[in-house]
Amino acid sequence: MTARVIDGKAFAARLRDRIADHAHAFEERAGRKAGLAVVLVGEDPASEVYVRSKARATVEAGMASFEFKLPADAAEAELLDRIAKLNADPAVDGILVQLPLPRHMNEDKVIAAIDPNKDVDGFHVVNAGRLAVGQHGFVPCTPLGCLMLLKDQLGSLEGLDAVVIGRSNIVGKPMAALLTRENATVTLAHSRTKDLPDVVRRADIVVAAVGRPGMVRGSWIKPGAIVLDVGINRVEGEGGKTRLVGDVAYDEAKEVAGAITPVPGGVGPMTIAVLLRNTVVSAYRREGLDLPKDAI
């Protein structure tokens, strides 16, 4: 048996098309575009690439993109002042501060300064709390994208055994909360979990988000399980060329799993699509408009 390949790139493209439709409908009803503001501090090359791709995707979806760049040696107070202005700006529905920040800035303090109702990254503790207790809030983009892929593959997740490997605030913990909300039976595993391979073997759903290339072996996977690989690891390949690999040993796992995401092209494309989704949702909520029924 060879696993179905879950095409996250194609799914994300369809999602972005729906988002664009809703963004245009919002503009007609509200008389303005939904707006996403991205703040970049410093000149980290990877962060600059992410910011450009987010800005391009925002404009392609028919939304307004606001970009703000601060030098690496900018004072934390300057960044906090910029966030305060964006919080008060009626044209801005979503605020994203690109991480990581320079070492002299406190990331927790910066994230806490963002209006939770404009926190489309879903990192604010208020939104984390809303997710934990089942209230409406913004969920981090990657785990919400994973949930969309899972429901597309399986429909209902009720009663299924799910293992999330990795307990970060960005992926692992919110992923576990989302799966719990869908009535799955969830184990949040991590580096100190005893007998981790045995824990994973009982799972109908495996979400790997540990940042260790190829850690999850094919022998760990229950036959027919759905495997989502969140890992993006750069390793040196043949001829010294760098290539991207996930946290799952893909070639092994695809011979056992029922369906699996590749790296790249699996979970990754969902992140920006869900960011756009969150921004449109914020715009509708802030204008007091009913959200579209297809639950973007």
- Residues designated as active site: 54, 98, 121
Which of 210, 222, 122 shows the shortest CA–CA distance to 162?
222
Distance CA 84, CA 74 (A): 16
Number of CB atoms found within 10 A of residue 278's CB: 26
Which of 283, 292, 278, 230 shows the shortest CA–CA distance to 123?
278
CB-count burial class (<10 Å; 0-12, 13-18, 19+) for 42? middle
What are the structure tokens assigned to 125, written together?
């503790």
- The kind and range of the H/E element at 140 are none
Please state whether beta strands 233-236 and 242-245 pair in parallel, antiparallel, or not at all (unpaired). Answer: antiparallel
